[in-house]
Structure 1
Amino acid sequence: MPEPLEPIVLPANQPPQFYRGGAAIAALRGDETREYGPEDWVASTTTRFTGGPDGLTRLPDGRWLADAVTADPRGWLGDPHLRRFGDSTALLVKLLDAGQRLPVHFHPDDRFARAHFDSHFGKTEAWIVVGASGDDPTVYTGFRETLPAATVRDWVRDQDAPSMLEALNAVPVAPGDTVVIPAGLPHAIGAGVFVVELQQPTDFSLTMEWRDFLDSPEQGHLGLGFDTALQVLDTSGWDEQRLTSLIRRGDDEPAGRDATDPAAAELLAPLADGFFRAERLFPRAAPAGTLTLTPGFAVLVALGGAGTLASPHGETPIARGDTVVVPYGAGALELSGDVTVLRCRPPA
């Protein structure tokens, strides 16, 4: 009889990147700082676009998580998930610490990814801001006004970064804020912003502002050519009212759509529902000091304090800086203690 599946505390997984960052990840995890370690891919079954094992999570027992899921998809994901997504986890979670501003870029939607990358998934994503430093921590989301496609093509051809950035909405952010980034939406993350990012499980980034970041324009358009890549770019205007469909404001306490329950609060705007789910869990605020987590594949990120995850088979300590992958087969879990946890899940 196979061993019962349990929550697994994961080591850091920081594939090389082209931009600086990582100090905030190191501070959260208590690890050594890496200048070019700005992303920690948590519970990842996704590889870098360039191929090879970079990006994949290796479990403490030496197996790749992707291999473990493929070997026991029902145990890891459960039958309802398998019927919708097959043996894909349908989720990638990252810790992302921008040590410098990221370039202006966008991502393909599912339809474009199927046509051009032979992938079931595009790359809609969302950010949960967990840290912000510097004088003006800012993210950039969507063009302020609708732009002619020819204007954008000219900016990309000339690598007119000031015009690209000026055309975007500059949105100041603070810890507790969340932002959903639909596929196609041009965006960037400013220096000093530290997020937990949920996304569809791909590495498709179409980078309009490639100069000074990437080695070649081919890396920017992923071999498609910019004429093709820009077909999926959203050039429509996003005014303040429209941005409210993407952005939720919060603080260091649980907040979101269900702020009536301080123990378990949904964090993301409804636009995210078809792609992923995120909650902030604070079991100490629950009536019995314990939260029951329903069975299902999940990724946990502990932001503060310490507590315990109890399953029918045993207990797993969880404390600030821990990242944990939870298989469906672990069953219902009891989270207790003075701990604050982000629970990231695939769509319902």
Structure 2
Amino acid sequence: MEPYPLRLTATARPLVFGGHAIARRLGKTGVPDWCVAETWECSDVDGSSGTVTNGPLAGRTLREVVADHPEELMGPGWSGDFFPVLTKFIDAAGALPVHLHADDEDARRLEGQRNGKTEAWHILDAAPGATALCGVKEGVSKEELRAALEKQDFDRVLRRLPVRAGQTIYVPGGTPHSFGPDTLIYEIEQTSDIQQHAMRWQMEDGSHVGDEEFAANLDMFLKEVKTGTRPDFVPGLRIPVADGVDRTFLCAGPYFALERWSAGTAAPLRRSFATAQILTNIGAPVRVRAKDFREELGRAATLLLPAALGEVEIEGPADVLFGYLPDLWRDVVSPLAEAGYDAGAIASLGSVRGPAHTDGS
């Protein structure tokens, strides 16, 4: 089968912190007319795998496409049981619950899951004065952390960071976090839906969590928490590509990388790639060309570009995101080092070593 860009169904989730920003501010169509907290743009989470809506593969789930066309989708030599990257829009009209996601080791050891969930947030919009909680303050013991969580006194033990549009933060598994209210983000993460909450209310409907359940939740939270991870927001690393075309690396690590590309009208946006690309439009509608595919990509819409396509062209003006599973040396370190960025700058993107390491990892 000839590769082509895939349109996938997006799952909308009506959690209590959601609002209407994904439809009304981003302009995403097809969103239900109720408070939506998240739309899962590219998902292969168990039970929530997106379904292809266009072309010869229409009606097939992403899980089925991975099984039938692993190398065409992900690149030569790749094999796996599921698509490894999950992307979402999240509308934190209200504050998210304080929670964490296990890292790979704890997910397998404590929850019987195949992998954990490291994630990153790219801030699309935030009200003046918006903040996020992310990471445990230095010097806080697990005993002190539990005592504060029991009292719901989060600022006593967790770091509160200012949030500004355009910034990104890479959040390793095991890091306690929350953001909102009045914050709109694009999230990229490992394919997983595991989480441990530290709240007295359920995020699905706001109902009360009883004492016994709350204590059990905190027990698991404390087993999985990593008190030494204290990530910060970064502006990204920009590389001029062509006349009016900019490429900005937002975050990178072994599980995913995220880039933001912008283009005017002097030159089209052209991107070559060797692994599947999750292309999400965060600006006005654009025209996308890839081999025989010529279609418009609307506001807040997503295409999954199989690796076998090799290249995509987008007519400007354009403001788009590319999320992918990287070969860190080839896709991240080398282009940034060639552009003059040092090891420290590259390492600021998340979990990636800079050009001082020459072993190709």
TM norm structure 2: 0.78
String of CA shifts for 1:146-199, please: whole Å, max 9, x gaps.
21211222334x3x22x1234322222121011111111111011111110011
- Checking the alignment, whether the CA contact within 8 Å between 2:67 and 2:81 is kept in structure 1 is yes
Q: 1:154 to 1:284 in 2, by over 3 A?
A: same
1:179 — aligned with what?
A: 169
Rounded to whole Å, the distance in 1 between the matches of 2:219 and 2:8 is 41
Rounded to whole Å, the distance in 2 between the matches of 1:106 and 1:26 is 29
2:334 — aligned with what?
A: none
Aligned-residue RMSD, C-alpha: 2.7
1:17 — aligned with what?
A: 15
Q: Secondary structure at the match of 2:146?
A: helix
Q: 1:283 to 1:276 in 2, by over 3 A?
A: same
Q: Quick check: 63-72 or 108-117, which moved more?
A: 63-72
Aligned match for 1:280, one of 239, 245, 260: 260
Aligned match for 2:104, one of 110, 124, 142: 110
1:93 — aligned with what?
A: 87
Rounded to whole Å, the distance in 1 between the matches of 2:158 and 2:301 is 35
- Checking the alignment, whether the CA contact within 8 Å between 2:38 and 2:89 is kept in structure 1 is yes
String of CA shifts for 1:59-87, please: whole Å, max 9, x gaps.
213322222222222222222432xxx23
- Cα distance, 1:224 vs structure 2: 7.0
Q: Secondary structure at the match of 1:68?
A: helix
Q: 1:110 to 1:21 in 2, by over 3 A?
A: same
- Cα distance, 1:258 vs structure 2: 3.0
- Cα distance, 1:25 vs structure 2: 4.0
Matched, 1:150 2:148: no
- Checking the alignment, whether the CA contact within 8 Å between 2:286 and 2:315 is kept in structure 1 is yes
Matched, 1:333 2:326: no
Rounded to whole Å, the distance in 1 between the matches of 2:108 and 2:33 is 35
Q: Secondary structure at the match of 2:238?
A: coil
Q: 1:75 to 1:259 in 2, by over 3 A?
A: closer
- Cα distance, 1:230 vs structure 2: 1.1
One-letter amino acid matched to 1:66: R
Aligned match for 2:179, one of 173, 186, 189: 189
1:203-218 pair list within 5 angstroms:
203-211=193-201, 213=203, 215=207, 216=209
- Cα distance, 1:345 vs structure 2: 0.6
1:1-348 pair list within 5 angstroms:
2=1, 4-28=2-26, 29-32=28-31, 34-47=33-46, 53=47, 55-60=48-53, 61-82=58-79, 86-133=80-127, 135-156=128-149, 158=150, 160-161=151-152, 163-211=153-201, 213=203, 215=207, 216=209, 226-236=218-228, 238=230, 243=231, 246-249=232-235, 256-261=236-241, 262-268=245-251, 272-284=252-264, 288-348=267-327
- Checking the alignment, whether the CA contact within 8 Å between 2:121 and 2:188 is kept in structure 1 is yes
Rounded to whole Å, the distance in 2 between the matches of 1:218 and 1:317 is 52
1:50 — aligned with what?
A: none
Q: 1:147 to 1:36 in 2, by over 3 A?
A: same
Rounded to whole Å, the distance in 2 between the matches of 1:209 and 1:18 is 13
- Checking the alignment, whether the CA contact within 8 Å between 1:98 and 1:189 is kept in structure 2 is yes
String of CA shifts for 1:182-235, please: whole Å, max 9, x gaps.
1111110111111100111001111112436465469988x9753344122123
Rounded to whole Å, the distance in 2 between the matches of 1:183 and 1:307 is 35
- Checking the alignment, whether the CA contact within 8 Å between 2:20 and 2:35 is kept in structure 1 is yes
Structure 2: runs of 5+ lacking an equivalent = 328-361
- Checking the alignment, whether the CA contact within 8 Å between 2:145 and 2:157 is kept in structure 1 is no
String of CA shifts for 1:119-152, please: whole Å, max 9, x gaps.
332111000001123x422111112332121122
Rounded to whole Å, the distance in 2 between the matches of 1:323 and 1:301 is 4
Rounded to whole Å, the distance in 1 between the matches of 2:226 and 2:184 is 25
Identity value in percent: 24
- Checking the alignment, whether the CA contact within 8 Å between 1:25 and 1:97 is kept in structure 2 is no
One-letter amino acid matched to 1:65: L
Q: Quick check: 97-106 or 25-34, which moved more?
A: 25-34
Structure 1: runs of 5+ lacking an equivalent = 48-52, 250-255
Rounded to whole Å, the distance in 1 between the matches of 2:212 and 2:264 is 47
- Cα distance, 1:33 vs structure 2: 5.5
Rounded to whole Å, the distance in 2 between the matches of 1:220 and 1:302 is 41
- Checking the alignment, whether the CA contact within 8 Å between 2:248 and 2:260 is kept in structure 1 is yes
Rounded to whole Å, the distance in 2 between the matches of 1:132 and 1:274 is 28
Rounded to whole Å, the distance in 1 between the matches of 2:69 and 2:200 is 40
Q: Quick check: 209-218 or 330-339, which moved more?
A: 209-218
Q: Quick check: 73-82 or 18-27, which moved more?
A: 18-27
- Number of equivalenced pairs: 316
- Checking the alignment, whether the CA contact within 8 Å between 1:93 and 1:197 is kept in structure 2 is yes
